[in-house]
Amino acid sequence: MNNKTNRIKLIALNLIGIVLAGSNMYGLNPVGMGYSSALYASGSPGITTIIVMLLGMANNFQTIDIVKYISAISVIIIISKLTAVNKLRVNEYASAIICFISVFTLEVTDLLINEKYTTFAMNMETVMTLAMPVIMSVFSAALNITFRKAIQALISGKAVYDNEEMFSMALITGLVIYNIGERMTIPASGIEIILFFSILYGAYKYGAGMGAIIGSACGISLCLWYDDAKYLGIMCMLGIAIGIFRELGRVISVLSMICACLTVGYAAYPLFISDNIVKGLLGAGIIFMMLPKNIIYRFEENINNNEENDMQKILEEKLTNAAKAIEKLSKSILKNDMETGNIDSIETNTDINQIWKNKFDESRNIMSGQLNQISKIIEEYSHEMYDFVKITGEEEEYIRHKLKGRKVYMDKIMGIENRRHKKEYLITAKCEKGVTIGTREIAEAVSEAFGKAYMPSRNCRKVISNEFTTTTYVEEANFYVLHGAARKARGEGGISGDNYSLKELENGQVLMGISDGMGYGTSACLESETVIELLEQLLDSGFDGDTALKMINSVMIMNSEEEHPATLDYGVIDLHSGMCDLVKIGAATTFVKRGNWVETIKSTSMPLGMFAEVDYDSTSKKLYDGDLVIMVSDGVIDALNTEDNDGKLVEIIRDIDGGSPKEIADCILEKAVSDKSRLTDDMTVLVTGIWENNKKIA
């Protein structure tokens, strides 16, 4: 949600606060204290909260009471700020306790100063006088918790609310209506029309449970209006009655409300049936019937029993990806065996046998290690990789209704949480004949329902038509990246021994990396290409980095009887958190640029394919808006030919001011080769920039 929308909502909530701050209940103001303290705890500035209280109480309270309650809210603000300074988290219950302490202190102080009791005789009046500070404090604290749920739900931009939030909103609505009715002249039965319509709308849309909740909240308003507690139970019963008959349609729902009122009026409480009540019933019923279907509709529970089948499909897909990665490993080994099948003719059979004996002896441990890694992978995939996410009927029906308005029929929706604790939603839907819809539009409905930005997954199709299609929606990242690369080859024909990767992975991650094969030309290209392709395949299939590196190293060692090492420099950026995990294996220095500051990350490990046990350097860096990660092959570093090549490249990078990642990569490469008439090694520059994603839910 953007800041402008937040400001508008806070202004509206402060206007409500002005109304509620004037709630004078026998000279007490628990409603004003509860709401104002909740409003401040939800982000309203302290001075604004004080002004809201002052404006609301100005014409409804005596000066001494205004001073008392302004002092109380000021104490709440001061205590809250002190806890913030000491880095203590103030949750909803801590906020209520602060409210209780402040109100209790001021009420007791008022009791002592004004000497509201003159004797310690234990009569009822004395007991009530002494108990009033406790009652007032408890009531204010309870309302603080209740009101805070509604305020925070409204500010968050949620499209679907739980029962507690709905009750809180209904209570605020009822109290606002009551206070406005007390202060202003409202047409006859206007209050009753609003309250009866609220119950009718809520019970019809959400069912008997929500009808009882909204009925109770509206009943409080009528209790205050008519000074009769019986209205609370009656309104609660109306909500239940409407909810029970909601399946039979609008007309029956209205008739059930009228019948319930008449039954109560004539059988249990005749005073309930008055002219205003009758007019309120009829007015609410007429308005309810006249509103269009896109406003008045029912949330239906849609329980799907196919979750296990859906999860099975996900698991099959993941296992298939893992199988492809393992197949890629085997092909990499077989390919080299075929390429190196002809042994030099001058070698004797004894030499050949010895070579292959040594090769098999060396490979035995490597293959054992690989099989061990594969067993761990299969074991990992055999466990649950996902947890189900509970989707309420209201959330599901909200999405269903939104899509129906766009001529899309949703068959089912399923929510899962992956191993990185990110939620994904799978929706099976189709369009009406002749209609198509982009998955971006469906993502908007998902975002509104769950109060968080979602987007189609990486492999999700862009459009759905009139056939049922399952599409996946993932949490939208907080950052996005742009890449740029520049390269020059030493060998003839433009074949470079360097290969690089720029790939979007699942779950909001991005892979960037460079591999430099030994030497130059075709053989070096094949080695680095194998490393990059295997890295992409393994990481994209869900393998962790350590497992992927061990398996790639095994392939490099087994590829031939001679050493053909390759360096690897890669990083994985989490676009949700901005964390970048960097791994270096015999690679050149990596540079992180933030404004005019440049950090170097060096490697002390040996390249892949030299030893059976892979050794690598790893580190994690938090990236911020505008940061650049610059990776280079050793040909770029060596081309500078100074006493401190890394330092020289730091100067070059620091002096670059602005430009796209591609332009920056070109600039670095150009400065590195400016004095070179002939290249001595392949050169590659890879630049990745990260920026904040400003696409938030409106």
8-35 tens-digit pLDDT: 888 888 888 888 888 777 677 888 888 8
Is 349 a residue whose pLDDT tops 60?
no
Query: What is the spatial distance between Cα 328 and Cα 331, in angstroms, rounded to a whole number?
Result: 5
Q: Is the pLDDT of residue 302 over 50?
A: no
Last residue of a domain, one of 297, 317, 332: 297
Domain identity same for 460 and 559: no
Last residue of a domain, one of 97, 128, 159: 159
Looking at the structure, tell me whether residues 527 and 549 fall in a common domain.
yes
List the structure tokens of 690: 């990260």
The C-alpha atoms of residue 582 and residue 565 are separated, in whole angstroms, by 20
**Burial bucket for residue 446 (CB in 10 Å: 0-12, 13-18, 19+):** buried
Residue 568 lies inside a defined structural domain of this protein: yes
User: Could you read off the pLDDT of 430-463 as tens digits, one per residue?
Assistant: 998 888 899 999 999 898 888 888 988 877 888 9
- pLDDT(502) > 70: yes
The model scores a pTM over 0.85: no
SS3 letters for 518-583?
A: CCCCHHHHHHHHHHHHHHHHHHHCCCCHHHHHHHHHHHHHHCCCCCCCEEEEEEEEECCCCEEEEE
Measured CA to CA, the distance from residue 532 to residue 501 in angstroms comes to 7
Task: Provide the mean pLDDT of the chain.
Answer: 78
Any domain includes 87? yes
Domain membership flag for residue 67: yes
Instruction: For residue 487, list its beta bridge partners.
Output: 684
The answer on 30 and 62 residing in a single domain is: yes
Whole-angstrom Cα distance, residue 211 to residue 442? 30
Residue 488 and residue 408 share a domain: no
- Tens of pLDDT, residues 509-547: 899 999 988 877 788 888 888 888 888 888 887 777 888
For residue 201, is it within any domain?
Answer: yes
Contact predicate 568/501, CB 8 Å: no
**Same-domain status, 208 and 150:** no
Cα-to-chain-centroid distance, residue 344: 61
d(CA 5, CA 19): 22
pLDDT over 80 at 314, yes or no: no
214 and 138 in a common domain: no
586 φ/ψ sector (left φ>0, alpha ψ -120 to 50, else beta):
left
Indicate if the pLDDT at residue 304 is higher than 70: no
Confidence band of 311 (pLDDT split at 50, 70, 90) = low
Query: 551: domain CATH number?
Result: 3.60.40.10
Is residue 286 assigned to a domain?
yes
Q: What is the pLDDT of residues 561-604, one digit of tens each?
A: 556 788 899 999 999 889 999 999 988 899 999 988 999 998 88
CA torsion, points 329, 335, 336, 342, in degrees to nearest 10? Answer: 150
How many domains does the chain fold into? 4
Q: How many alpha carbons fall within 13 Å on the CB side of residue 255?
A: 6
Determine whether 655 is exposed, middle or buried from the number of CB atoms within 10 Å of its CB (0-12, 13-18, 19+): exposed
- Please determine, for residue 492, whether its predicted confidence score (pLDDT) is greater than 60: yes
**Residue 424 and residue 473 in contact, taking contact as beta carbons nearer than 8 Å:** yes
Residue 112 has a pLDDT of 73
Number of helices and strands (H, E) in the chain? Answer: 21, 17
- Tell me if 327 is assigned to some domain: no
Q: How far apart are the first and last CA of the chain?
A: 5
Are 467 and 498 in a shared domain? no
Give the percent of the chain with pLDDT over 70.
77
The pLDDT of residue 345 is above 50: no
Residue 159 has pLDDT above 70, yes or no: no
Q: What is the DSSP letter of 227?
A: T
pLDDT at position 381: 56
Q: Which two tokens stand for residue 573?
A: 């950026």
Residue 411 belongs to a domain: yes
Provide the domain limits for residue 447: 387-475
Q: What is the DSSP letter of 267?
A: I
| Sequence-distant (≥ 6) Cβ neighbours of residue 299 within 8 angstroms | 205, 206, 207, 393, 394, 397, 398
Output the furthest CA–CA distance in the chain (Å, rounded): 121
User: 185 and 293, same structural domain?
Assistant: yes
Could you tell me if 99 and 217 lie in one domain?
no
Q: Is the pLDDT of residue 122 over 70?
A: no
> Which of the 8 DSSP states describes residue 608?
B
Lowest mean pLDDT among 12-26, 256-270, 313-327, 654-668: 313-327
Alpha-carbon gap, residue 675 to 640, rounded angstroms: 9
Q: From CA 88, how far away is CA 95, in angstroms rounded?
A: 12
Question: Within this chain, do residues 503 and 600 fall inside the same structural domain, yes or no?
Answer: yes
Q: Which of 108, 136, 159 is the last residue of a domain?
A: 159
Residues 124 and 208 in one domain: no
Provide the angle, in degrees to the nearest 10, between the axes of the packed helices 349-382 and 545-558: 160
Round to whole Å and give the CA distance between 278 and 231: 15
Q: Which residues contact 412 (CB under 8 A, 6 or more apart)?
A: 302, 304, 306, 427, 428
Q: How many CB atoms lie within 10 A of CB 27?
A: 9
Q: Are residue 173 and residue 250 in the same domain, yes or no?
A: yes
pLDDT score recorded for residue 698 = 36
Confidence label for 238 from pLDDT (cuts 50, 70 and 90) = confident
Rg (CA), the chain: 35
Residue 576 falls inside a structural domain: yes
Distance (Å, rounded) from C-alpha 436 to C-alpha 469? 12
Give the best-scoring range by mean pLDDT among 151-155, 264-268, 328-332, 398-402.
Answer: 398-402
The pLDDT score that the predictor gives to residue 697 is: 37
